[in-house]
Amino acid sequence: MTEVGDAKRGGMFRSLSNRNARLFFAGLLFSNIGSWLQLTATSILLYRLTGSSVDLGVNAALQFLPTLILGAWAGAISDRFDRRRTTVITQSLMAMQAIVLGVCDVTGIINVRMVFVLTGLLGLISAIDNPSRRGLVTELVPAHEIGNAMSLNTAVMTGSRIFGPALAAMLVGPLGTGWLFIINGISYAFMLYGITGLRKSEMFTPEPRPAGGTPVRDGIRFVRTHQRLFPLFVVFTVVSTFAFNYGVSLPKLADLKWGNAEYYGWILAMTSVGSLIGALSTARLQLTTYTWVASAALILGVANIGMAIAPNVWVAFVWAVPLGAGGAAMIAGANSIITQEAPPDMRGRMLALTAVAFLGSTPIGGPITGWVADYVSVSWSLAYGGMITLLSAAFMFAWIWVKDIERD
């Protein structure tokens, strides 16, 4: 039977036929539940300390600014060095950061400046971790299953968000935010077990990039001169900058418009249900198309506006599902296309550039969104991103129509 035939037979979860993929994704799921506990608890803690969406935006900027500055170089590191070893180091450091943050909170010495410093440290570690950890996914399966594995990676990342924020909403009252940080630190043990337990003999590791040269400029040049990837990167970057700042907008929306700041965790959980649907819908595709990504962006834009004008939390719950589905389908679809278009020795740099576009744009979009929420309207802090996303989707549909790229 051919590789394509095997892929079709496996369906939506076909890459899980590989033992290494099962082990890695199981560890990733449990660890990311903890990560979403921390992310949700950090927003709750900062909003409790300051009541300011601007501070939430600044914190988001500090977390993702290192990715914006260092992301491309981190991709070069991913292509040059052993991704498994690099990921073990970064995941261990992230566990230590969570425990330190939790201890500071539990002992009562926490303050805004301390949160900002520790968030910046987490951002620095994450900038190196992101391309190596995601690049490691491409080594778990044969080449024809990479697109499916990347979509399942998105599904696991977003699926964990169903449980993490909901658990945070349930546990923050009886435990407090500090213990949620400590629980996240402990949860990294699952990820470390999943990485160290991989069988090298069953991995599909490419030859590392040779030392020297101009790896960062080579990666940027590859994207800039690629007729199909460059417009995709432009749309992905614009949408990522303005349409994914949930941690900035939703706490204040939940407090001022829907009556309870703790609804934030539940809204994020419902968004994650949609995200899981969007990621798995992408995983089932044998070939991810540019039209799929444009359609997902369209859904995301409409849902952003719908969430912004939701009159109560129950209507917000309804809009949260397409909000998550559109966002995850766009992310998974773009990642699938990019990893399949890129040569094996450049995948780390391509994944790093998508991280720069998706996460590194937050230092720009996060503070802007926080300013809009505090000084214009909390509803507009979501709606303006939705409108920009609709314009981006329209551009991508027009580009597809003009270039007729789906014919290739």
| 153, 13 Cβ separation under 8 angstroms | no
- Residue 311 has phi, psi (to 5 degrees) of -80, -20
Report CA dihedral (204, 206, 207, 209) to the nearest 10 degrees: -150
Tokens at 150, concatenated:
């990347």
What is the amino acid identity at position 222? F
Tokens at 9, concatenated:
């037979």
What is the amino acid identity at position 78? S
Q: What is the pLDDT of residue 215?
A: 62
- The single-letter DSSP state of residue 176 is -
The count of other CB atoms within 10 Å of the CB of residue 1 is: 7
For residues 347 and 115, give the distance between their C-alpha atoms in angstroms, rounded to a whole number.
33
3-state secondary structure at position 311 = coil
Report the percent of the chain where pLDDT is more than 90.
Answer: 29
Q: Where are the domains of the chain?
A: 11-407
**pLDDT tens column, 268-289:** 778 888 988 888 888 888 778 8
Q: What is the pLDDT of residue 49?
A: 87
The answer regarding whether domain 11-407 maps to CATH 1.20.1250.20 reads yes
* DSSP state letters, 256-310: HTSS-TTHHHHHHHHHHHHHHHHHHHHHT-SS--HHHHHHHHHHHHHHHHHHHT-
Tokens at 192, concatenated:
């470390």
Per-residue pLDDT band for 2 (boundaries 50, 70, 90) equals very low
Question: For the chain, what is the radius of gyration of the CA atoms?
Answer: 20
3-state secondary structure at position 359 = coil
**pLDDT tens column, 109-167:** 999 999 999 999 999 998 889 888 888 888 898 877 877 888 788 778 777 777 777 78
Tokens at 195, concatenated:
């990485």
Helix axes 263-283, 246-256, angle to 10 degrees: 140
Which residues does 96 contact at the CB level (< 8 Å), separation at least 6? Answer: 185
- The single-letter DSSP state of residue 140 is S
